[in-house]
Structure formats: structure tokens, C-alpha cells
């Protein structure tokens, strides 16, 4: 994902000629220090600055008002310094965090945008952002839904669920599908799409309330609270007496280990993420991968960024249809105000979020 313009660019534009445009207060979430172990709110700080709502004449910059910030586990991986380059750049202490958001264009020097346009784009964790060269953005084609859906069911988590389930794991009607972190942003969509496709679907989640949500709201066939199960292997055997065809992997660790023992021959594992590993300095050792040989399993990682362009557009239309027909529903957990953003991010790692974690910076 693209890095944000550095603070210097923001300040330069804010203080450069011409001195016109409203001067607004701009609260921003910065990384205070690199993180080891579990992130805490103290690793971040909300600082107050100002930004002038203006772009330099002749530039293709835009100034946006950020409405809904997406809060995602992968942001934790960016809070540590990596010696080897990761698939996304590390955050830098003293600089603003960034991620996907839904934002409104306030000022534009760019031919493709005008004030009032709503966009889903990469932007800062701040109230207003100057984006000097907007490259990665998507139009909001279905404003009839809550705008926050573009951080969830109609955005990155939704595309991730669809691509992982159908392009990577190639789930088919009648198959046995298991998804971990099942009530979260990605997991809840995986389960519902698998049901629409005619699969038998089981999910795991970290509280009885979440398990109840899986069964009553999202239509899973079965679910269990992994924190209460003394033996994950036994829990999976109880839910899948004939084994698992498709595992949508969100957590890693002990769950992956148990799943491998319960896969059916020729099963597929879509490795979407491993949230149980993100706070560890040394990831858990590899599980028993010899299971892949005997059962002829396929295990494949993927990144949602590989499913843009036309795939994204087709997905948006398909998902908008499912939402209108009531085949898919979305549960969101909305934290109010930019000050709530650090706690919302930290909460992902104790399972405090119930559904897609969003931060509402401003509601329109
Ligand atoms: N490959 C890609 O392109 C891509 C794109 C988006 C997301 N992802 C990945 O997809 C996964 C789900 O992301 P999301 O946005 O949908 O997050 P989410 O599920 O909405 O939130 C994270 C959830 O993870 C669970 N969790 C936290 N710590 C855990 C632990 N130690 N062990 C087991 N579960 C734990 C918690 O749920 P419980 O209460 O149920 O434990 C928590 O609510 C993550 O691994 C993420 O990195 C990958």
C-alpha cells in the first residue's frame, strides 16, 4: 500500500501561498514508538494541529475530510520495525498512521475529483488529509448503503473474503468450510458467502456472544467458542465428523495445527492472516506440514491487493445485490471520534470488537 505524504508536505501546503481557504483544527493519530508485544494505547498519541483547506495552484492534490477509518489487524504488523521489507511499509514514529477510509473531497486540483465527491482511499488517521498525488482510490458506487460499509462488507474485508473463498480455496457447493475469527470483518462475510454457495459452514470465535451471532445473525450451521474448548482437535471432530474441505485461515497457531489434523484429502487452506502471531516476537513454529503430503492438501497465502480493478467492481455489484436481497448482512462495531481510534486498534487483539471495527471521525 502507498505511504502517505510526509508531514512536511502537509505543513508546506498548509503554510504556502496562496493564504486562502479555511484553517481547520486537525487531530491526528501518530505512532509514538515502535511496538514490541501487544500494542497499547500509549504506543500512539492523538496530536492537535491545523490544516488549511487549500491546494497549491496547478497541483493535482486533494484535501479530504475523513469520515470513517478502517481499523485492521495488519496495522499492528506496521507498528514494528522490519529489517526485511514487508508487503507494506512500516509506520514511522512521530508520523501519522494510515489506512483505508471513506472520505469526502473538500478541495481538489485533480481533474477526476470535485468537492463533495465521496471516495474510498488510503489516507491518514486524522480528521483532514492533504493527498498530494491520489493514486489508490475507489468511487463509492452505492451511497444507498451506510458509507462505513466501504471499510467492511463493500470494501477490503468483503473482497478479501470473496477472493480467499472462491479464487484461492475454490469452495464449491456441498463442501465443508471452516473459518476462524468468524464473527470479525472478514470472517462474517466468508461464512455468509459460503452459505450462499451451498456449503456447510462452521466458525470459531472468542466469546459466547459472538458464537450466538454466528448462528442467529449470519446463518452458520455450527460454531464454537475456541476459548472454552480444552481440545481444539476434539471440537473440530465434533463439528466436522467427515473432515474439512476448506479452511479460511485467519488466526494461525494452535487452531491451524488442529485444523491440519482434520482436513479431508485434497482440501484447500486459504491463508488470509494469522492474527494470533502478530504480537509475538518469534512466531510459533510451523505446524505438522507433513499432513499436506499424505492428504494432498493445498495451502496458499494471498493478498487482497491482487484483486483490484475489474474484480473489485464485479465484487461490489455482486455484494450490493446480496445486501439488497438480504442474503448477506453486516455487523459493525463503530468507535466514535478520532480519539477513540487507538483503543479501537488495540481492542482487535483481545477480541473486544464485535464485527467490523470502524472509527467514525465525522458522520455525513
Ligand atoms: N490477506 C489479506 O489481504 C487480508 C486482508 C484483510 C484481513 N486479513 C486478515 O484477516 C484476518 C481477520 O481480519 P479482520 O479485519 O476480519 O479482523 P477481525 O476478525 O474483525 O478482528 C480481529 C479478531 O481476531 C481475533 N483474535 C485476536 N487475537 C487473537 C488470537 N490471539 N487468537 C485468535 N483470535 C484472535 C478476535 O476475535 P475473537 O474474539 O473471535 O478471538 C478479534 O476480534 C486477520 O488475520 C487479518 O490480518 C488479510
pLDDT reported for residue 6: 38
**Whether the predicted pLDDT of 140 surpasses 50:** yes
Model confidence at 9, pLDDT cuts 50, 70, 90, reads very low
Q: What is the pLDDT of residues 85-96, one digit of tens each?
A: 889 999 999 999
- Locate the domains of the chain by residue range: 7-151+331-360, 156-305
Residue closest via CA to ligand 1's atom 46 equals 273
Contact 68, 361 (CB under 8 A): yes
Q: How far is CA 265 from CA 70, 201, 268, 291, in A?
A: 37, 18, 9, 10
**Whether the predicted pLDDT of 108 surpasses 90:** yes
pLDDT reported for residue 85: 84
Closest CA to 121 of 166, 178, 63: 63
CATH of domain 156-305: 3.40.50.720
Does the Cβ of 161 fall within 6 Å of ligand 1?
no
Measured from the Cα of 275, ligand 1's closest atom is 45
pTM score: 0.94
In our burial notation (b when 16+ CB lie closer than 10 A, e otherwise), range 72-97 reads bbbbbbbbbeeeeeeebebbbeebbb
pLDDT reported for residue 102: 98
Pocket test for ligand 1, best of 186, 212, 349 (most atoms within 8 A of CB): 186
* Arithmetic mean of pLDDT, 318-341: 98
CATH 3.90.180.10, applies to 7-151+331-360 = yes
CA distance 285 to 188: 28
Contact 214, 235 (CB under 8 A): no
Q: How far is CA 356 from CA 54, 153, 293, in A?
A: 33, 8, 36
pLDDT reported for residue 286: 84
Q: How far, in Å, from the CA of 6 to the mean position of ligand 1?
A: 29
**Whether the predicted pLDDT of 19 surpasses 80:** no
**Whether the predicted pLDDT of 133 surpasses 90:** no
Contact 197, 175 (CB under 8 A): no
**Whether the predicted pLDDT of 218 surpasses 70:** yes
Q: How far, in Å, from the CA of 277 to the mean position of ligand 1?
A: 10
CA distance 88 to 363: 29
Does the Cβ of 246 fall within 6 Å of ligand 1?
no
Residue closest via CA to ligand 1's atom 43 equals 351
Q: What is the pLDDT of residues 156-179, one digit of tens each?
A: 999 999 999 999 999 999 999 999
In the three-class reduction of DSSP (H, G, I as helix; E, B as strand; rest coil), residue 119 is classed as: strand
DSSP-derived secondary structure for 252-292? -HHHHHHHHHHEEEEEEEEE---GGGTT-SSPPPP--THHH
Average pLDDT in the chain: 94
Start-to-end CA span in the chain (Å):
27
Give φ, ψ of 348 to 5 degrees: -60, -25
Amino acid at each position: 500500500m502507498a505511504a502517505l505524504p510526509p508531514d512536511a508536505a502537509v505543513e508546506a501546503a498548509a503554510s504556502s501561498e496562496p493564504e486562502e481557504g479555511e484553517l481547520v483544527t486537525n487531530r491526528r493519530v501518530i505512532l509514538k514508538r515502535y511496538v514490541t508485544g501487544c500494542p497499547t494505547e500509549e504506543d500512539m498519541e492523538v496530536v492537535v494541529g491545523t490544516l488549511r483547506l487549500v491546494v497549491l495552484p496547478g497541483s493535482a492534490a486533494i484535501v479530504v475530510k475523513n469520515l470513517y477509518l478502517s481499523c485492521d489487524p495488519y496495522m499492528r504488523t506496521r507498528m514494528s520495525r522490519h529489517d526485511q521489507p514487508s508487503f507494506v511499509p512500516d509506520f514511522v514514529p512521530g508520523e501519522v498512521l494510515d489506512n483505508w477510509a471513506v472520505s469526502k473531497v473538500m478541495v481538489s486540483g485533480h481533474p477526476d475529483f470535485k468537492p463533495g465527491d465521496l471516495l474510498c482511499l488510503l489516507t491518514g488517521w486524522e480528521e483532514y488529509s492533504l493527498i498530494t498525488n491520489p493514486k489508490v482510490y475507489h468511487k463509492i458506487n452505492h451511497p444507498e448503503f451506510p458509507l462505513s460499509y466501504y471499510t467492511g462488507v463493500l470494501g477490503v474485508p468483503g473482497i478479501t473474503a470473496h477472493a480467499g473463498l472462491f479464487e484461492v480455496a475454490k469452495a464449491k457447493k456441498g463442501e465443508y468450510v471452516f473459518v476462524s475469527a468468524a464473527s470479525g470483518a472478514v470472517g462474517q462475510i466468508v461464512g455468509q458467502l459460503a452459505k450462499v454457495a451451498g456449503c456447510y459452514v462452521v466458525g470459531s470465535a472468542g466469546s459466547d456472544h459472538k458464537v450466538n451471532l454466528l448462528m442467529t445473525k449470519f446463518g452458520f450451521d455450527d460454531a464454537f467458542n475456541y476459548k472454552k474448548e480444552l481440545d481444539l482437535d476434539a471440537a473440530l471432530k465434533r463439528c466436522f465428523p467427515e473432515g474439512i474441505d476448506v479452511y479460511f485461515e485467519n488466526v494461525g497457531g494452535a487452531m491451524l495445527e488442529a485444523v491440519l489434523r482434520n482436513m479431508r484429502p485434497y482440501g484447500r487452506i486459504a491463508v488470509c492472516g494469522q492474527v494470533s502471531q502478530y504480537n509475538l516476537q518469534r512466531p510459533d513454529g510451523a505446524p505438522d506440514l507433513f499432513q499436506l503430503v499424505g492428504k494432498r492438501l493445498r495451502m496458499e497465502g494471498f493478498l487482497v491487493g491482487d484483486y483490484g480493478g475489474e474484480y473489485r467492481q464485479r465484487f461490489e455489484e455482486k455484494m450490493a445485490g446480496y445486501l439488497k436481497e438480504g442474503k448477506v448482512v453486516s455487523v459493525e462495531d463503530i468507535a466514535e471520534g478520532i480519539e477513540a481510534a487507538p483503543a479501537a486498534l488495540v481492542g482487535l487483539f483481545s477480541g473486544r470488537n464485535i464485527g467490523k471495527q470502524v472509527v467514525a471521525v465525522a458522520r455525513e
